[in-house]
Amino acid sequence: MPNDQVQATPLNARPAPTPPLADRVARIALSTTIASSMRAQALRAAGRDIQSMAVGELDFDTPPEIIEAAHEAALAGQTRYTAPDGTPALKAAVVEVLQRDQGLTVRADNVHVASGAKQVIHNALAATLEPGDEVVVLAPYWPSYADLVAYFDGRLTVVETQLRDGFTPDLARLREAFTPRTRWLILNSPGNPSGAILPPAVLAAIGELLAEWPQCWVMSDEIYDQLWYDQRPLSFALAAPTVADRTLTLNGVSKAYAMTGWRIGYGAGPTSLIEAMAKVQSQCAGNPASVAQAAAVAALKGDVSRLETWRTALRDRRDFALQLLSACPDLELPIPDGAFYIFAGVANVLGRRTLQGVAINDDQALADWLLDQAGVAVVAGSAFGATGHLRFSFALDLASLETACRAVVTALNTLAP
């Protein structure tokens, strides 16, 4: 047979066995928010009119001066390898912005830059977790925390919080979650999916609790710290200075600067941890994209007045969405203090039946039904470790937001007891 011809496989031939995959892959799942968005996109491609309240990104465009900074960097030849965990210019910008916005004093050797905040988390866990080590999280939590812990063969310890308490933890229950095997406590304020901001007194009390567990690191995920509406959130390292020397403060440019696709996140922490994370980064990614780092410098050092303009727009959208969704009396609607999500309680809806007589028994079934019936993509609370909720993103223009919220309310109000 000539070399440029390939023999066709007979239709009745048995497929060759494939080599096995690693067990760690079976322990994780495709991101729930990505899966919801992919299904919405598939329905759009099939001709359906779909509104997405599932995606975790602003609908604003990346500001033009940030794009121009990337262009200028590329033209200037900044297209080669950088240091594994960030350029000196970007580390200096992070040092400056942490001091300016959070009052934190760090040096460049305390800063780690990676390809998105998710990779910062990956690198931190890779550098510290042994099989069987425990990580404490507050539910509701961002799903990637759980999946990354599982990926590294760790054990997740979940402390539930309640809508009625503003999603703040009961400190006695939190204390009970710690053991000698606990290696991390992960905090997220403002929170995804809740939008809750942990009060300074609660952060300080958590710091006092952690004095009992010196083997435990703290990861304070503050990626939404610029998206607040009434009271600015306080950085955990500032609220709990006695444990600042074992705290990794996590942030990035994705949310506040509409730069999700640029993939730049950063963490600030003790040099021993940062050096270990840099080793991981050097082997798994090499370095973050050079031109994206230049763009991040422009974002962090740029005009901060834009942030207030965006906060005002998001506050208006939040209030508008809450007003529209309140037309369904069975939804519990907390007012989020930050981020751009409404984490609605739907316990009063579950168990009801559609016009076709189908029972909606859990929040995932409700999310699926809303996509099919109302043409609106949302994310089930069970994905965040909090069953009986739905997460609605209000990062949509007002016209789309109105269409989506009215469609959700109309559909929910058709459900029968």
Please give the single-letter amino acid code of residue 159: V
For residue range 235-271, list pLDDT tens digits in order.
999 999 999 999 999 999 999 999 999 999 999 999 9
Please tell me the distance from the alpha carbon of residue 377 to that of residue 51, in angstroms, as a whole number: 6
Class of the domain covering 23-61+306-412:
alpha beta
With a cut of 60, say whether residue 71 has pLDDT above it: yes
What pLDDT is attached to residue 255? 97
Q: What is the pTM of this model?
A: 0.94
Q: Give me the sheet containing 247-252, strands edge to edge.
A: 111-114, 265-268, 247-252, 217-221, 182-188, 134-139, 155-160
With a cut of 70, say whether residue 6 has pLDDT above it: no
CA dihedral 42, 47, 49, 54 (to 10 degrees): 0
For residue range 150-174, list pLDDT tens digits in order.
999 999 999 999 999 999 999 999 9
Please tell me the distance from the alpha carbon of residue 318 to that of residue 325, in angstroms, as a whole number: 11
Where are the domains positioned within the chain?
23-61+306-412, 80-301
Cβ–Cβ under 8 Å, residues 360 and 367? no
Q: What is the CATH number of domain 80-301?
A: 3.40.640.10
| CA separation, residue 122 to residues 111, 115, 125, 159 (Å) | 15, 10, 5, 21
If pLDDT is split at 50, 70 and 90, which confidence band does 232 have?
very high
Cβ–Cβ under 8 Å, residues 117 and 254? yes
Does the bond joining 199 to the residue before it have cis omega, within 30 degrees of 0?
Answer: no
